[in-house]
Structure 1
Amino acid sequence: MRILLATAGSRGDVEPFAALAERACAAGHEVRLVAPKNSGVDMADLDVASMGVDYTRVIEDQGVSITAALRNYRSVVRPVMRGVIVGGALAALEYEPDLIVYHPKVLSAPLVADALGVPHVVVEIVPTLTPTRAFPAAGTITRGIGPLNRLTYQAAGAASIMFRSELGEVRRMVGARKRKVSAPAATLMPISPAILPRPDDWPESVHLTGPWTRAHRLAALELEVAEFVTDGPFIYAGFGSMAVGNATSRGGAIVDVARERGSRCLIATGVGGIEVPPDRLGADVLVVQTVSHTAVLQHATAAVHHGGIGTVHAAMTAATPSVIVPFIADQPFWGSRLYEMGLTPAPIPQRALTVPALSAALDEAEQCRPRITEVAKAMSAEDGTLTALTLLAAIH
């Protein structure tokens, strides 16, 4: 089968698609992955086509502030989304796949699939499209409102309105006369049912597959990191690409708490998420830009992170207690969900990350260890990547 995978966003949006591409290639399928450039994901062994957009550069230039995104909508956001919508369409038309599997940001995928006469499958990295009474859409509100939760999923439709001119360009490109497109053949969610039980009001076409990971390939650690993680207990902290607020204050608080507790700490600065003040550096603190969660978290006594779904999966798989410090998008959703399930303490808003708050949360996180261990055991039986590939093969 000839499969086109198309994704857009930062590393957390690209990594699952790269894992699926790798597994599909190993199974004998022809696969092309259309993705942003400079995502930080290893795609050296894959057939990759670039959309010509660089989310990392956008984050470095303007951070992840919603205010900045609105201020720079015409100059930054719209050009990036044109690359995703039009660039993604051009890549798909050139490849002529038998099946298109796409991230919801790739709004043109259904149009192109219909023009080519092939099925399309949408991948909800987090639950934003499929309505349910069980919980609100990720990125909207965190407290459930019962049956009205379904209304929060209408927000996803606004994207098609905001970028209707770009979609119109694709319609003209493919000769589509109708505005209505076909429904996805299926919806795949690379999320573990151990941390998001499947709602009973989801259609049968929606599948919680479990996370898509490269479990067979453990990333090699740099010597300095390898020596640090095997030299005794440590707390891990990383906020990925969350370049907003006072990163230096956050870094100082994390180091202070670790030292107060007699612990070392490994800090991943990411794309500006954390900055460690020079006066806090020492032999008990290792600062790197990025690190493999799969290789590191199994050794950590606790993980302080932003609550992106990729990091959540990695921490739960490693049975490592977490303190979630959410910033934007789906992070407050996961912070709330995991707290409700007894898997983490209450999330700490990034502006409220202080020494007392973090110290108390780490104490509470340790009390969650038995429940986390149960979830880790359940997740160890999952092979989300294989489940997804099996479902795709059945569709074709």
Structure 2
Amino acid sequence: MEERPSSDQDPGVQSATPPDTQETQKIERIESELTQESGRVRDDGRVTVNLKSKIAKAFAQIAEEQAERFGRPSTVFHEAEAAIPVFCDVKLNIVIQIVGSRGDVQPFIALGNALQSHGHRVRIATHDVFADFVRKSYLEFFPIGGDPAKLMAYMVKNPGLLPRMETLRDGEIKKKQVMVGEMLDGCWRSCIEDDPITQEPFVADAIIANPPQFRPCPFTSVFPHPLADLTAGAENEEGKANWVSYGVVEWLTWQGLGNVINKWRSSIDLPPVPATEGPCLAETLEVPFTYCWSPALVPRPWDWPAHVDLADFLQSGNPPVYIGFGSIVVDDAEKLINTVISAVSKAGVRAVVSKGWSELAGASDPNIFYIGDCPHTWLFQHVAAVVHHGGAGTTACGLVNGRPTTIVPFFGDQPFWGKMVSKAGAGPDPIPHAELTAENLANAMQFCLTPEAAAAAQGIAAKMQHETGVATAVNSFHRNLPLDRMRCSIMPNQPAVWEYKKGKQSLTLSKVAVNILVENNKIEVSRLERHAIKPIIIENRRWDPLTGVLSSLTGTGLDMAKSTQDMFREPYREYKRARSSNSLEKSESAGSPSSGSSSANRDPFETSGNMAGASLKAFGKFSASYFRGMTVDLPYAAAEGFRRAPQWYGEKPKDYGTVSDWKSGIKVGGKNFVGGMTSGIAGMIKEPLRGALEDGSDGATKGLIKGALGMATKMPSGESPGPSRTRLKIFANAGINSVAGIGLMAYPFQGIAKSIEASFRTKTPKAIAAARLREGFALTVGMEISQEEKEEILQLFDVLLSSMG
């Protein structure tokens, strides 16, 4: 759902439409325009994807362009190679950011301890309630805020991508958005802020995050998105349909989180993520992923990257069935526990029932033992089967102990795990929590006690015994590090975070090295630049000239419309603010006669000035939106559309680099000019010849058409600008209008605009620089570097500096 800023509705203004109704209308509109067209959101939160929808067809077209993905892997993955330890001598500050329940946190505790053993400094950033759990594991803890119990309760009520109407009426949407914003801010602060207890400085060199941490999943053609249920058409191959499901689900998900994320990005000086790029961001940026599940249950896709009393109960009869729903918070806990008790009686079994966050507890029963928090790794060794909500961690724990499993999914990827367990024969079909009855739960438990289910679960356990999950995860992390760019030129086992330039050459320096060099007057802090180990530039990709131009015009129009609205709304807010202030001052004056009445009236000239200023500010935004849209965004969209157009007829578009500032803009513009001219002319000669050699006269004709298409799309962005070149040209054979010479101007203008914008976004870079300098000082003191070692560092710096000329 699109976020609605709280300031949009002044408390003193009565809207013609109540706020709750406005929110409801927005949700209904989104459902109508997006969800119903691309897929139906089911009660369990999964999306029945309509592969014939416009959105699905758009992703299918992208899949066509990456057709090789559906026949063979682009990079061969060898499991044996993945198990080989990867040597990493660079000691990093690693923050592991986790959103979710205790079951989500627990696997990362093991990973954090393993990374510690390799010499890294590890900080776990998660919800405040897990502080003791993390610190008792000898890991650093940083609170990111957010209440996991409230999050789970919200997800149980609203398992779908769009919230239920009763949730809107209760005002829970705004609360959830505020909580998400709080967690986003907490995750950012966990990267640069000191330890909350020891005050030891910390600046992250690498981030590890779990899937719920506000980012998309990687696409695969092996199986559909965990939240998708496909209704494939006859024309859709299974692999392509699976791949498309990720695009549709992530696109719908972005509609709910995109506005919140972009608002947060703005607060830390980052530009917004374009609506078209958010859903595919992980794919576009090639973010490394490590799946924390067992290949014994789900093989790795080829195309990716109170114990004493309890013990007495366990020993007093047949092994019981474990029943627990962990961090799930339900509205009617009494109904759920009554269903469980009745099912235990019907199945004729003994049971250990975990109270969990819903505090499940019923009447005393000799066949049921109620427990609080208890380690699954120990308990699952002593039960006959397990029944739970299907969290990934709990599912893995049950199967590694060879226990048949019944999954009662509530939301998210839980139905996916239920399907996988059932497919493996280690449990019955999952029972959606809304369909749970005493009868089907009893039948499910009896299924789990069959020899066939036990054998299947034991088979999975046998395979999992030979897996080294934590070691594999550590290797995966190390293997994806760009170590060649991470090393300090002077202290190779320290990560480089600064650059010191001399001419066209530069040295990469660690925090400790810089601190020593600054202390000894070898360098000045003002000459240091932040070292971008792996720069992330999010581009609003354009797939063709027509849609690129239309998308740019739409974006510019929306910005101008918002600015126009603000020209009237902001002055009115200033007026209402003045009235509210006067009313407050009058009430205070009435209670304190000695204060006089002169303070009870705000200067009307001041109010008028504020109103005029607000209007002028909005008009400035309007003008800026128009100027940027017409002189920067529109030409750039057209140039990028023409650059990518060769993919229509089977050619791979040339990559001239990314535009990040005015220098790179000029560089890319020049390359595009030369490349467009050269390729366009060469194609008119080579394509007919190539076609003639392959297919004779028919091939020559096809080659001529292909060459003409190439010239029509490549040369417009590469031709020289000038009065005679600025007229619209119509290429009949391509059916496209283009503006000549656009690329030579568009890319430099885009670079200049980015440089200007960057000059205003200085707060966050300054905060990062200050945190790095502070940590460098603390590290130097903590490492107790001797004077002799410092002298060696200074001498090596002098040698390297002299070699730079």
Superposed displacement of residue 361, structure 1: 1.8
How much does 1:21 deviate? 1.2
What is the SS of the residue equivalent to 2:125? strand
The residue aligned with 1:64 is 156
Q: Which residue of 2 aligns with 1:106?
A: 213
2:333 matched residue in structure 1: 247
- How big is the shift at 1:363? 2.6
Q: Per the alignment, do residues 158 and 355 of structure 1 end up closer, same or farther by CA in structure 2, a change over 3 Å counting?
A: closer
- 1:185-334 matches, cutoff 5 A: 185-200=287-302, 202-203=303-304, 206=305, 222-232=307-317, 233-244=319-330, 246-272=332-358, 275-278=360-363, 281-334=364-417
Partner secondary structure for residue 290 of structure 2: strand
Q: Which has more radius of gyration?
A: 2
* Cα distance in 2, alignment partners of residues 165 and 325 from structure 1: 32
Within 1, Cα distance between the matches of 2:443 and 2:132? Answer: 34
Residue 151 in 1 paired to residue 244 in 2?
yes
Q: Which residue of 2 aligns with 1:211?
A: none
Find out whether 1:393 has 2:492 as its counterpart: no
From the superposition, tell whether residues 226 and 327 of structure 1 become closer, same or farther in structure 2 (CA, over 3 Å).
same
Mean Cα deviation higher: 251-260 or 77-86 = 251-260
- The range that moved more, 353-362 or 242-251, is 242-251
SS of 2:224 mapped into structure 1? coil
Find the aligned partners of 1:97 and 1:15 in 2 and give their Cα distance.
21
> Which residue is 1:14 aligned to?
105
Between the aligned partners of 2:131 and 2:156, the Cα distance in structure 1 is 17
In the alignment, which residue of structure 1 is the partner of 2:261? 167
Structure 1 residue 167 displacement after superposition: 3.5
Residues 12, 144 of structure 1: CA spacing in aligned structure 2 closer, same or farther, 3 A cutoff?
Answer: farther
Tell me the equivalent position of 1:81: 180
The equivalent position to 2:144 in structure 1, one of 19, 30, 51, is: 51
Deviation per residue, 1:207-258 (Å, 9 max, x gap): xxxxxxxxxxxxxx53222332333321110011222354333323333333
Q: Which has the higher contact order (CA 8 A, sep 6+)?
A: 1
Contact conserved, 1:142 with 1:332, CA < 8 A, in 2?
Answer: no
Cα 1:104–1:275, aligned 2, differ >3 Å: closer, same or farther? closer
Matched residues in 2 for 1:171 and 1:246: separation?
38
> Contact (CA 8 Å) 2:177, 2:260: kept in 1 or not?
no
User: Letter of the aligned partner of 1:52 in structure 2?
Assistant: G
Contact 2:149 2:329 in 1 (8 A): no
| Distance (Å, rounded) in 2 between the aligned partners of 1:246 and 1:103 | 30
The worse-fitting range, judged by mean Cα deviation, of 244-253 and 379-388 is 244-253
The secondary structure found in structure 2 opposite 1:187 is coil
- Structure with higher helix content: 2
Asked if the contact 1:342/1:368 (under 8 Å) is kept, the reply is: yes
2:229 is aligned to: 141
User: Which runs of at least 4 in structure 1 moved beyond 6 Å after TM superposition?
Assistant: 142-145
Q: What secondary structure does 1:362 align onto?
A: helix
Separation in structure 1 between the aligned mates of residue 323 and residue 421 of structure 2, nearest angstrom: 18
1:290 and 1:151 map into 2 onto residues whose CA distance is 41
Q: CA deviation at 1:35?
A: 0.7
Counterparts of 1:41 and 1:59, CA distance in 2: 21
Q: Answer whether contact 1:85 1:166 (CA < 8 A) is retained.
A: no
Q: Give the deviation of 1:294 after TM superposition.
A: 0.8
Pairs within 5 Å for 1:330-341:
330-341=413-424
Q: Is the 8 A contact 2:131 2:143 kept in 1?
A: no
5+ long unaligned stretches in structure 2: 1-91, 159-163, 194-201, 482-805
Q: Which moved more, 1:249-258 or 1:383-392?
A: 249-258
Q: Which moved more, 1:221-230 or 1:160-169?
A: 160-169
**CA distance in structure 2 between the partners assigned to 1:265 and 1:300 by the alignment:** 9
The one-letter amino acid of 1:364's match is F
Tell me if structure 2 keeps the 8 A contact 1:230–1:299.
no
Indicate the residue corresponding to 1:372 in structure 2: 457
Unaligned regions of 5+ residues in structure 1, if any?
A: 108-121, 123-127, 207-220
1:64 aligned counterpart, secondary structure? helix
Cα separation, 2, equivalents of 1:240 and 1:355: 20
One-letter amino acid of the structure 2 residue matched with residue 191 of structure 1: W
Alignment CA distance shift 1:335-1:144 (3 Å): farther
Aligned to 2:134, what secondary structure does the other structure show? coil
Whether the aligned pair in 1 keeps the contact of 2:321 and 2:384 (CA below 8 Å) is yes
Once residues 319 and 183 of structure 1 are traced to their aligned partners in structure 2, the CA distance between those partners, rounded to angstroms, is: 38
Query: Is the alpha carbon distance of 1:178 and 1:329 closer, same or farther for their aligned partners in structure 2, counting shifts above 3 Å?
Result: closer
Match of 1:64, as an amino acid?
V
Structure 2 CA distance, aligned partners of 1:166 and 1:357?
Answer: 41
Alpha-carbon distance in structure 2 between the residues aligned to 1:102 and 1:229: 37
Structure 1 length normalisation: TM-score?
0.80
Cα shift readout 1:239-279 (whole Å, capped 9, x = no counterpart): 1122235433332333333344443211002111x73432x
Secondary structure of the residue aligned to 2:220 is coil
Contact 1:11-1:39 within 8 A present in 2 as well: yes
Letter in 2 for 1:323: T
Matched residue count: 356
CA change 1:144–1:313 in 2 (3 A) is farther
Cα deviation, residue 376, structure 1: 0.2
Structure 2 length-normalised TM: 0.41
**1:136–1:150 CA contact under 8 A, matched in 2:** yes
Residues 1:173 and 1:76: Cα distance change in structure 2 (over 3 Å): closer
Distance 1:56 1:168 in 2: 26
Equivalent residues of 1:11, 1:40 under 8 A apart: no
Mapped contact 1:5–1:34 kept (Cα < 8 A): yes
SS of match in other structure, 1:270? coil
Identical-residue share of aligned pairs (%): 25
CA 1:227 to 1:239, structure 2 compared with 1: closer, same or farther past 3 Å?
A: same
Cα displacement (A) at 1:32? 0.9
CA contact (8 A) 1:131 1:150 kept: yes
Moved more, 350-359 or 309-318: 350-359
Distance of 1:160 and 1:88 partners within structure 2: 19
Question: Which one of 202, 219, 223 corresponds to residue 131 of structure 1?
Answer: 219
Which among 13, 30, 36 is matched to residue 127 of structure 2? 36
The aligned amino acid for 2:222 is A
For 1:3, the aligned partner's letter is: I
Deviation for aligned residue 1:320: 1.0
Q: Residues 39 and 55 of structure 1 are in contact (CA less than 8 Å); yes or no, is this contact kept in structure 2?
A: no
| 1:22/1:184 CA distance change after superposition, 3 Å | farther
In the TM superposition, residue 6 of structure 1 has moved relative to its aligned partner by 1.0
CA spacing shift, 1:136–1:230, aligned 2, 3 Å? same
CA offsets 1:152-185 (integer angstroms, 9 cap, x no match): 2122244555444543455445544584777245
Q: What corresponds to 1:27 in structure 2? A: 118
Partners of 2:435 and 2:183 in 1: how far apart? 35
- Given the alignment of the two structures, is residue 344 of structure 1 paired with residue 427 of structure 2, yes or no? yes
Deviations 1:324-381 (A, max 9, x none): 1111111111111221222211122223333332222223222311111110001111
Name the amino acid aligned to 2:120: H
| Change in 2 beyond 3 A, CA 1:289/1:140 | farther
Change (3 A) 1:255 1:174: closer
Q: Which amino acid aligns with 1:195?
A: L
